[in-house]
């Protein structure tokens, strides 16, 4: 059976897609249709998977606007139809909500099945994205989203098309509950979390982070925008009563403008000496930074979006044996509380966060205990060999 994956962006990289390829390519023939980014060829291969890319053009940019404004695109319909015909696809596997509608029309035209793989609660994520100030918008798509976003339209789109899919994938149990509320049949919803891919040669001891620099280091790695609420993180540092002479917060993943903004806020709070901000770095560099870190941070602002999704960085921290400090977004709080692997603070409250930092600074034995518990939970429960079972079950069911 041939599976055709659809992405409305460039590939590689995408950690989640790469893990799904790792699992599905053992038993199925995979093809990918996605956008081309700078330097990528139109026809390519990734781990034996054939990739077809749509080249950058004004026409492609217009298709992105079509999707944002009306959740449909004749350009994408024709591209997907051609992809299905030439690659003889049996199942379309659509990554994220925007292409589900047009892909479903193609699937119905060709008499094939469709899997909707939802990385996010998309309407809620788009709603959060519209909070971005105009001066920070960097492309036409985001400008159109800011000016023309209709939450009602996207929620109606979800309610119309997701129940017509042959299967729907989400990343966390809280998202499954939400999907059931919009009439997606429970038996068609599969939770496939963003767990780590742990290879056979993995040694538990090799995953332990060891900081020998004598500086208490807290790490945030990931995207930098308002939903990540790094402002509360920085503001929490001015409340600290301990550690100001040997403590450092490291942020990895900012763009140049966000870096300036964060550093400016830190300076105004009088804590710029406690903050170190990196722009984009390689995965290998992130691993190196994690190896000299004491605490992993997930300071996301609590919202409908963050209550129904989960960042894979939490599992990367746990894999490294890092104790966690997280905000009280529902999935984050559930995992940290259940597995006793860190501390939870009230989202948006800098004083609550500062108390968590002080607790872990003053109690190295507690840090070690939380880190060990998180590492055990990660290796025994939160690993891709467990997550992929649901993905493989889905395809076993869809092909019978």
Task: DSSP for 18-85, please give it.
Answer: HHHHHHHTTTSEEEEEEE--TT--SEEEETTEEEEEEPP-HHHHHHHHHHHHHS--HHHHHHHHHHHH
Q: Which helix (DSSP H) or strand (DSSP E) does residue 269 occupy? A: none
Q: How far apart are CA 56 and CA 14, in angstroms?
A: 19
3-state secondary structure of 17: helix
Hey, what are 305's tokens? 């979006």
Q: Are 10 and 40 in contact (CB under 8 A)?
A: yes
184 burial level (CB within 10 Å; 0-12, 13-18, 19+): buried
Q: Are 115 and 166 in contact (CB under 8 A)?
A: yes
Residue with tokens 């599905």: 24
| For range 103-118, the mean pLDDT | 98
Does 90 have pLDDT greater than 90?
A: yes
Does 197 have pLDDT greater than 90?
A: no
Report the side by side order of strands in the sheet with 49-54.
43-46, 49-54, 29-35, 2-10, 91-95, 113-117, 167-170, 189-191
- Domains assigned to the chain: 2-195+384-398 (3.40.50.2000), 204-380 (3.40.50.2000)
Does 303 have pLDDT greater than 80?
A: yes
How many distinct helices (H) and strands (E) make up the chain?
16, 14
pLDDT at 132: 67
Does 252 have pLDDT greater than 90?
A: yes
Q: Are 196 and 319 in contact (CB under 8 A)?
A: yes
CA-wise closest residue to 310 among 324, 290, 294: 324
pLDDT at 353: 98
Q: Are 249 and 220 in contact (CB under 8 A)?
A: yes
Q: How far apart are CA 70 and CA 77, in angstroms?
A: 13
Q: How far apart are CA 32 and CA 53, in angstroms?
A: 8
What is the distance, to the nearest Å, from the Cα of residue 18 to the centroid of all Cα atoms in its chain? Answer: 13
Cα pseudo-dihedral 254, 256, 262, 265, rounded to 10 = -170
Q: How far apart are CA 214 and CA 372, in angstroms?
A: 20
- Sign, CA dihedral 252-6-31-28, equals positive
Q: Is the peptide bond before 385 cis (omega within 30 degrees of 0)?
A: no
Tell me the whole-structure pTM to 2 decimals. Answer: 0.90
pLDDT at 202: 45
User: Predicted confidence band at 399 (pLDDT cuts at 50, 70, 90)?
Assistant: confident
Does 83 have pLDDT greater than 90?
A: yes
Of 164 and 129, more confident: 164
133 burial level (CB within 10 Å; 0-12, 13-18, 19+): exposed
Q: How far apart are CA 203 and CA 368, in angstroms?
A: 18
Q: Are 296 and 222 in contact (CB under 8 A)?
A: no
End-to-end CA distance of the chain: 12
Query: What residues have CB less than 8 Å from 126, skipping those under 6 apart?
Result: 145, 149, 151, 154
CA-wise closest residue to 334 among 310, 365, 299: 310
pLDDT at 208: 53
Does 245 have pLDDT greater than 60?
A: yes
Tell me how far apart the 2 most distant CA atoms of the chain are, in Å: 65
The listed range with the strongest mean pLDDT (83-92, 278-287, 391-400) is 83-92
| For range 241-247, the mean pLDDT | 87
| For range 170-181, the mean pLDDT | 96
Quick count: other Cβ atoms within 10 Å of Cβ 114? 24
3-state secondary structure of 184: coil
Per residue in 24-79, pLDDT tens? 999 999 999 999 998 899 999 999 999 999 998 888 888 888 888 888 999 999 99
Rounded to 5°, angle at Cα 27 from 21 and 29: 65
Q: How far apart are CA 59 and CA 176, in angstroms?
A: 36
Hey, what are 191's tokens? 């939770």
């Amino acid at each position: 059976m041939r599976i055709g994956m659809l992405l409305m962006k460039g590939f590689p990289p995408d950690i989640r897609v790469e893990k799904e390829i790792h699992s599905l390519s053992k038993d199925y023939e995979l093809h990918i249709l996605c956008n081309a980014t700078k330097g990528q060829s139109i026809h390519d291969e990734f781990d034996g998977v054939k990739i077809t890319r749509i080249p950058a053009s004004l026409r492609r940019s217009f298709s992105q606007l079509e999707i944002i404004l009306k959740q449909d695109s004749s350009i994408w319909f024709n591209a997907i139809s051609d992809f299905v015909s030439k690659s003889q696809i049996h199942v379309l596997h659509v990554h994220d909500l925007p292409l589900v509608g047009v892909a479903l029309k193609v699937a119905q035209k060709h008499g094939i099945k469709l899997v909707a793989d939802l990385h996010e609660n998309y309407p809620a994520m788009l709603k959060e994205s519209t909070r971005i100030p105009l001066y920070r918008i960097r492309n036409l798509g985001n400008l159109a989203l800011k000016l023309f976003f209709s939450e009602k339209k996207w929620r109606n789109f979800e309610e119309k098309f997701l129940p017509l899919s042959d299967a729907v994938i989400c990343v966390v149990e809280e998202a499954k509950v939400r999907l059931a509320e919009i009439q997606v049949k429970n038996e068609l919803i599969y939770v496939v979390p963003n767990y780590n891919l742990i290879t056979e040669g993995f040694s538990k001891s090799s995953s332990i982070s060891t900081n020998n620099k004598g500086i208490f280091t807290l790490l945030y790695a990931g995207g930098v925008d308002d939903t990540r609420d790094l402002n509360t993180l920085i503001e929490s540092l001015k409340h600290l009563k301990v550690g100001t002479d040997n403590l450092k917060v490291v942020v990895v993943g900012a763009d140049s403008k966000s870096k300036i903004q964060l550093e400016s806020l830190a300076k105004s709070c009088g804590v710029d000496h406690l903050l170190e901000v990196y722009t984009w770095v390689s995965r290998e560099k992130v691993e190196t930074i994690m190896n000299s870190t004491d605490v992993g941070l997930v300071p996301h602002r609590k919202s409908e979006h963050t209550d129904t999704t989960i960042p894979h960085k939490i599992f990367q921290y746990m894999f490294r044996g890092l104790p966690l400090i997280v905000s009280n977004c529902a999935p984050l709080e559930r995992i940290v509380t259940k597995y006793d692997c860190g501390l939870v603070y009230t989202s948006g409250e800098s004083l609550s966060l500062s108390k968590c930092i002080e607790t872990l600074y003053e109690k190295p034995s507690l840090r070690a205990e939380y880190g060990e518990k998180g590492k055990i939970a990660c290796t025994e429960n939160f690993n891709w060999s467990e997550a992929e079972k649901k993905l493989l079950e889905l395809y076993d069911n869809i092909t019978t």
